[in-house]
Structure 1
Amino acid sequence: MPLGDGKALVAMPIIEAQSVRKVFRRIVRRPGIAGAVAALFSREYEDKVAVDDVNFALEPGELVGYLGPNGAGKSTTIKMLTGILVPTSGVIRVAGVVPYERRSDNAENIGVVFGQRSQLYWDLPLRESFELLRAIYDVPRDRFRQNLAHFSAILDLERFMDTPVRQLSLGERMRGDFAAAMLHDPKIVYLDEPTIGLDVVAKEAIRTFITTVNRERGTTVILTTHDLADVERLTRRIILIDEGRVIFDGALEQLRTEFGTHRTLVVTFVENIETVEVPGTEIESREGTVVRLRFDRRLLSAEAVIRRVMERYPISDVSIIEPDIDSIVRRIYQEGYPAHAVWSAT
């Protein structure tokens, strides 16, 4: 919609992080009695930078993967967004609210699912847990019934709705947690390892639920996970964080283009070849007559590699394997991201 001066109306980000830094300080304790006595009179501190100058913004309705190795700063960032932690410096706004300044208002806007923790009441049936959460968030009863019926259908909750939470399987409990996080119609949902330890059926139910609430309700979702199948299935944009710093912020396809530089040609020879030498490739593995040749797509096309193989050896089959997101992200974690190449979606 144009404004009076002809300028376009620009949607405000629903989540903003500007130059966010979080430092944890701890006392350095020396061993032995002498060290304990010395600490009484003169304390030495050590600072641990968990998040360092993090900047990003999310538009309403985005579904973003927030990824990084253990200790990269993912959970610390999420805790600051939820208001559990206060940034050492920088600014965070969530739906126009500074989380740690207005925790109650922020809680109304967000839902949270932690793979290793539950917000359900352990000794109560699932249905009664939902009723308690309805009262806590003051959800109108009609809206509560509509939401519960909708989520129950997507997540197949009805068959264990009257079972105490402690008797639910991990997959059943996680489905209940997802419904619980969405009962009050939050604008934003944070998902921390939501499919960890789940079987294939439960994972599929959770992924379908995430996709549905994002698409139908416009819920903004931040997903942190080590299961990169979740990332490929659910997200189009990812933010990579390592050692507290954002090293990539952009489309999944952009990451593939930048780091998915190598492809694999799987060749099945007519007979066992003792020595396989194809210029521009390296042998990744071989098993009998099947050899996997790795090559850099920036230097050679797949067609050129296939032609070189066929000029030298008789083959019966050939196929190309594209790099998956798992191998690309693993390579970044192992080799590091070039210091000069910090990408941003903006």
Structure 2
Amino acid sequence: MIQVRELRKTFSVRVKAGRFRREKRVVTAVDGVSLSIERGEMVGYIGPNGAGKSTTLKMLTGVLTPSSGFIEVCGFTPVPQRTRLALRIGVVFGQRSQLWWDLPLRESFGLLRHVYRVPAADHEARLRRCRALLDLDSFMDTPVRQLSLGQRMRGELTAALLHGPEVLFLDEPTIGLDVVSKQAVRAFLGELGATGDVTLVLTTHDLADIERLCERLVVIDHGRVVHDGTIEALHSRYGSRRSLVADLERPLPADFSLPGAVVTSVEAGGHRVTFALESVAAGAAVAGLVAAVGVRDLSVLEPDIEDVVARLYTDS
């Protein structure tokens, strides 16, 4: 669905070079990105501020012209064929709206049907599904300007899907949403992705979105791809570790050691100990503790993706 090879985008900016003088400087926002995304994939595209995420999405959707490189989306070259491409993609930018501010949500949806020339039956079927999954009925007749942020975002997602796009680009779709609204949006996108009908490319700073929705993670930093693979591969590559938290029957002996694990914290007078599991399976670590001192309760904590990505940015 998406082919990108050696994609670059540079901008010319003027910077201060003295009290009264400015000079032109070339800034590289995207520097040689190559990607191939198959039909039905759900891909998280993340990076720190200024890494080139939004610039990449704007080139993929035909908003910006690449400085160099090859780019193809749904078989089209985005900028010269963006009118035809627009009928095949959906776009949601967290800080932009494609709804009519003073019209009720229902009328915005009706206008979009005519903009995209969608047959009435297809439009109604897609709208019915979105109304059910995103719980839109209670505010379908409310003007967009009176909607809460969470309600408007649910409306934006619906608007992006009513013409049946093959690819959905989402730029910060949960930014500023409360917990309930985030859960509703994530559940909807998860169900949408499970059908395999829509290829989804998601950029976000909320890594919980990535963990819940995307199997593949592409990390960009300073305009370059620094990781492309599964979240599990990211954890493995950057040495993230599971943790074992054990409530013990008695404190550990002073000479106790658990091969392949490191004690990271001791609480409650030595009765609660947290181990970082470096090269030992959780089951083997538990067996060693039971044999040594006995265990009342325990839990295994998966590594936090935010810590892993922060380490990646530091290393790159």
The reply on whether 1:159 has 2:138 as its aligned counterpart is yes
| Selected match of 1:25 from 12, 21, 36 | 12
Deviation at 1:286, TM superposition (A): 3.1
Q: What secondary structure is seen at the aligned counterpart in 1 of 2:16?
A: coil
Alpha-carbon distance in 1 for matches of 2:191, 2:249: 48
| More off after superposition, 253-262 vs 136-145 | 253-262
Q: Does the 8 Å contact 1:134/1:144 carry over to 2? A: yes
- 1:133 corresponds to 2:112: yes
Structure 1 segment 82-231 matched on structure 2, within 5 A? 82-216=61-195, 218-231=197-210
Counterpart position of 1:4 = none
Task: Give the one of 47, 50, 57 matched to 2:36.
Answer: 57
Which sits farther off after the overlay, 111-120 or 182-191? 111-120
Q: Aligned partners of 1:200 and 1:259: how far apart in 2?
A: 30
Q: Distance in 1 between matches of 2:105 and 2:78?
A: 29
Task: Name the SS for the 1:143 alignment partner.
Answer: helix
SS at match of 2:65: coil
Q: Indicate the RMSD between aligned Cα atoms, in angstroms.
A: 2.3
Q: 1:295 is matched with which residue?
A: 277
Query: CA separation in 1, counterparts of 2:110 and 2:240?
Result: 52
Contact 1:20 1:89 in 2 (8 A): yes
TM-score (norm 2): 0.90
Q: TM-score, normalised by structure 1?
A: 0.83
CA shift, 1:261, in A, is 4.2
Whole-Å separation in 1 of the counterparts to 2:81 and 2:69: 17
The 5-angstrom pairing of residues 256-295 of structure 1 reads 256-271=235-250, 278=257, 281-288=261-268, 289-295=271-277
**How far 1:216 moved relative to its partner?**
3.4
In structure 2, C-alpha distance between the alignment counterparts of 1:277 and 1:193, rounded to whole Å: 48
Query: Pick from 317, 321, 325: which aligns with 2:301?
Result: 321
**Identity rate, percent:** 48
Query: Gaps (5+ residues) in structure 2?
Result: none
Contact 1:260–1:323 at 8 Å: present in 2 too? no
Give structure 1 stretches of 5+ with no counterpart. Answer: 1-13, 337-346
Q: Which has the higher mean CA deviation after the structures are superposed, 284-293 or 91-100?
A: 284-293
Aligned residue for 1:69?
Answer: 48
Are 2:246 and 1:246 aligned? no
Superposition deviation, residue 267 in structure 1: 2.2
Say whether the 8 Å CA contact 1:268–1:317 is kept in structure 2: yes
Q: What is the total number of aligned residue pairs between the two structures?
A: 313
